[in-house]
Structure 1
Amino acid sequence: MSITMTPAASARMRAFLDKSPAAPGIRFGVKRTGCSGYAYVVDLAPELAQDDTLVEVEGVPLVIRNDSLALVDGTCIDFQRQGLNASFVFNNPNATGECGCGESFTVG
């Protein structure tokens, strides 16, 4: 399992965790949705489930469902601000295409 994170992304995630110290980590993974198939999930994990894997990246505990592991392996997570907008950005070597709006991706 190889996930990397930029300093901007780790700082943003640590800020979320600082506000919710009971959370075991940040849930990172994918869900089926959108016009291309998968969309990323980044949210506080309220608990660890039996089918979760916990990995630490840049000091941030990431909670990943086992069925998402292969789809996010190798992903670099960034956090970018553009004008008034701010969002996580993902560079995923497993993605073979994205929808026109950039909200979902496909794997080959």
Structure 2
Amino acid sequence: MTDTRTTDLSLTQAAAARVRTIAERQEKPAILRLSVEGGGCSGFQYRFGLADTVEAEDIVAETDGVRLVVDPVSLDLVRGCSVDFVESLGGTAFRVENPNAAAGCGCGSSFAV
């Protein structure tokens, strides 16, 4: 059964729009998977990718018809986070605002708890 507790995660409208654009170009569903892996300069690192399906155990947040999915193991490290899409002079990127992160690196793709 898919758990749809949106209080655990959120996806901004900017991020949803970017996921939709990428998914349309790649002819895939508008499903962004966020996972956490060991490594990076701060201990853990975020991984993003388009998913073909939502797995039964995934936690799902939806914004404007775009779904953000996280597996239960990664959820422990990103519970309460918000995923945004930012554009700056340094480039464009998905950015995670993670209330569980005690420290992060300058690139924004790794964190420590």
TM-score (norm 1): 0.80
Within 2, Cα distance between the matches of 1:87 and 1:42?
Answer: 10
Alignment of 1:69-88 (within 5 A): 69-83=75-89, 85-88=91-94
- Larger % of strand: which? 1
Aligned residue pairs total 106
User: Which residue of 1 is the match for residue 11 of structure 2?
Assistant: 5
Gaps of 5+ in 2: none
Does the 8 A contact of 1:32 with 1:39 survive in 2? yes
1:53 equivalent among 51, 58, 83: 58
Superposed displacement of residue 67, structure 1: 0.8
TM-score (norm 2): 0.77
Within 1, Cα distance between the matches of 2:95 and 2:28?
Answer: 26
Aligned Cα root-mean-square deviation (Å):
2.2
Give, as a single letter, the amino acid of the residue that structure 2 aligns with 1:53. D
Does the 8 A contact of 1:24 with 1:48 survive in 2? no
User: Which residue of 1 is the match for residue 25 of structure 2?
Assistant: 19
User: Which residue of 1 is the match for residue 101 of structure 2?
Assistant: 95
